[in-house]
Chains A and B, each alone.
Chain A
Amino acid sequence: MKPRNSGSVVRLAAPLRALAQRFSFLLLVLASVALMMVGKIDALSVDSARARVTDAFAPILDAISRPAATAAHVVESVVQVQNAFEENQRLKAENARLLQWKQAALRLEAENLSLRSLLKATPEPSSSFITARVIAAPGSSFLRTLVVTAGRRDGVRKGQAAIAGSGLVGRVIEVGEWSARILLLTDINTRIPVVLERSRQRAVMAGDNSDQTRLLYLPPEAPVQVGERVVTSGHGGQFPPGLPVGVVSSASERGVRVQPNVDLSRVEHLQLVEFALPGSEAEPSSEPK
């Protein structure tokens, strides 16, 4: 009885297996499409799964990104030695100019302080920052994100601003235990309320996966000059006002484009800054993902 039984199971299983093999491609394709839909519908649990997997691979990514960074440093230092003389001249001139600015800034700071004390203005909210190293950048044509080595246990929170050197780089969109993901300014999902520094014209800066970003919702008659600085406006409470973002690189009928201050392909370390803005915690729903 038993052998015959197992024989019939085999006889039944063989065509089933052949069928499964034939349809496995179809099943896997359907599974992929289903995953895409799940990602659209239940973005939160997908985010947490992503954070866990990124956490798990962060040590490996950290280890393999170091030699690459070292190689880049070596190449860069060779180039720097070649240009040392010109660079020195340029820096001297720049230093002289900056010293003047420093004097101006000190004078303004003192003046500000005394005026504030007269007005009883509330002090600026204090900000704290966490420095993190960039360990991965996905090689994809349609994504602009970075993975950094700092996570929840270092105090990273969703929505924090990522700043490198001279300006905004992006913001934290996903936090793991010891890694976090930054959505760059140039990603197609990024929308940042900005203001043109001189004309005080408000706009929304949007990425389009290229190296530059676009300004949306600018009135057509708005006077936009190439070279004008673009800073965050502070609307929406995500970023504080006045954070430098970039400069206008071209303005035509086809739109206004902004060159980010920071070269996003060369960011190695960045600061994740918590700006203690009132009401900034109250909008996790503004994620565009």
Chain B
Amino acid sequence: MTLTLWQRLDKTGRNLAPFAVTVMLALAGMIPVPLPGYASVAPFLTAIAVYYWAIHRPDLMGPGTAFLIGLLQDLLTGGPLGVNALVLVLVHWAVSSQRRVLVSSTFALMWFGFALVMMGVACIQWLAFTVLQAAVLPFKPALFQALLTMAFFPAVAWMLIRVHRAFLQG
């Protein structure tokens, strides 16, 4: 079976959907929200996307892609280079080591798995910034960010499922 040029373009475009959606989430996470104290606990949306795609389409969201998205986020947020890249690669690694359990699990179990991953993310972020600043930073904001991200998980996952069904199935 040979594909025409348009079919191939269409397929490539569809296969780019996970990457594109994750980049859009990275940008959406930077919208200034005029709520006091929001910026420090703004949900880490790209972690949700990497977690979701690493479970359902690891062929379209490999560790290299996760790394690139993290790097882009590092460059955009103006933080130290490599921190988000490291975090997203480790999220991907955590998922792929437990993928067999997660891919056939219920939504609640997936959410629980994400909660565990997010606690790890908070610890790594805190550790990385503490080492890079050479000063002990308060852990609380990272913890609250993790909790808020867990709370955002169902909504973002629902959107990702819609994208998944619209572009990559059928």
Contact check: which of B41, B67, B92 meets A32 at CB < 8 Å?
Answer: B67
In chain A, positions 139-157 with a C-beta closer than 8 Å to chain B are: 139-147
Q: 22 A–B contact pairs at CB < 8 A? A: A28-B89, A29-B89, A32-B86, A35-B85, A39-B80, A40-B80, A40-B132, A50-B75, A54-B75, A54-B76, A61-B31, A64-B27, A138-B39, A139-B38, A139-B39, A139-B43, A140-B39, A140-B79, A145-B77, A209-B138, A210-B138, A263-B36
Tell me whether A228 is interfacial, beta carbon within 8 Å.
no
User: What residue of chain A has the Cβ atom nearest to residue B30's Cβ?
Assistant: A136
Contact check: which of A136, A142, A211, A265 meets B137 at CB < 8 Å?
Answer: A142
Inter-chain contact B38/A265, CB cutoff 8 Å: yes
User: What residue of chain B has the Cβ atom nearest to residue A49's Cβ?
Assistant: B75
Tell me whether B72 is interfacial, beta carbon within 8 Å.
yes
Contact flags (1/0) for A3-40 with B, using CB distance below 8 Å? 00000000000000000000011001101111110111
A31 to B68, CA, bound (A): 11
A205 to B44, CA, bound (A): 30
Residues of A contacting B169 in the complex (Cβ-Cβ under 8 angstroms): none
Inter-chain contact B129/A142, CB cutoff 8 Å: yes
In chain B, positions 75-123 with a C-beta closer than 8 Å to chain A are: 75-83, 85-86, 89-90, 92-93
Residues of A contacting B78 in the complex (Cβ-Cβ under 8 angstroms): 50, 54, 138, 143, 145, 147, 173-174, 181
Q: Tell me, rounded to whole Å, the shortest Cβ–Cβ distance linking B150 to chain A.
A: 15
A contacts with B: majority SS: helix
Tell me whether A195 is interfacial, beta carbon within 8 Å.
no
Q: Tell me, rounded to whole Å, the shortest Cβ–Cβ distance linking A171 to chain B.
A: 13
In chain A, positions 162-196 with a C-beta closer than 8 Å to chain B are: 173-174, 181, 188
Inter-chain contact B27/A61, CB cutoff 8 Å: yes
Q: Tell me, rounded to whole Å, the shortest Cβ–Cβ distance linking A104 to chain B.
A: 34
Inter-chain contact A34/B82, CB cutoff 8 Å: yes
A265 to B40, CA, bound (A): 10
Q: Tell me, rounded to whole Å, the shortest Cβ–Cβ distance linking B39 to chain A.
A: 5
Q: A50-B75, A57-B76 are in contact. Are A136 and B36 (CB under 8 A)?
A: no
Residues of B contacting A147 in the complex (Cβ-Cβ under 8 angstroms): 30, 78
Tell me whether A53 is interfacial, beta carbon within 8 Å.
yes
A266 to B132, CA, bound (A): 29
Contact check: which of A35, A60, A140, A209 meets B27 at CB < 8 Å?
Answer: A60
A245 to B63, CA, bound (A): 45
User: What residue of chain B has the Cβ atom nearest to residue A263's Cβ?
Assistant: B36
Tell me whether B49 is interfacial, beta carbon within 8 Å.
no
Q: A24-B63, A61-B27, A64-B31 are in contact. Are A139 and B75 (CB under 8 A)?
A: no
Residues of A contacting B43 in the complex (Cβ-Cβ under 8 angstroms): 139
Tell me whether B21 is interfacial, beta carbon within 8 Å.
no
Inter-chain contact A25/B135, CB cutoff 8 Å: no
Tell me whether A134 is interfacial, beta carbon within 8 Å.
yes
A210 to B64, CA, bound (A): 34
Q: Tell me, rounded to whole Å, the shortest Cβ–Cβ distance linking B128 to chain A.
A: 7
Residues of A contacting B63 in the complex (Cβ-Cβ under 8 angstroms): 24-25, 28
Inter-chain contact B83/A36, CB cutoff 8 Å: yes
Inter-chain contact B32/A25, CB cutoff 8 Å: no
Residues of A contacting B36 in the complex (Cβ-Cβ under 8 angstroms): 211, 263, 265-266
A144 to B36, CA, bound (A): 13
Inter-chain contact B132/A138, CB cutoff 8 Å: no
Residues of A contacting B38 in the complex (Cβ-Cβ under 8 angstroms): 139, 265
Residues of A contacting B72 in the complex (Cβ-Cβ under 8 angstroms): 53
Add 13 more A-B contacts to A64-B31, A265-B39, A268-B32 (CB < 8 A): A24-B62, A28-B67, A31-B67, A31-B85, A36-B82, A38-B81, A61-B31, A69-B34, A138-B39, A138-B42, A142-B79, A144-B40, A147-B30
A53 to B76, CA, bound (A): 7
A239 to B31, CA, bound (A): 29
Tell me whether B22 is interfacial, beta carbon within 8 Å.
no
Tell me whether A80 is interfacial, beta carbon within 8 Å.
no
Tell me whether B35 is interfacial, beta carbon within 8 Å.
yes
A39 to B132, CA, bound (A): 10
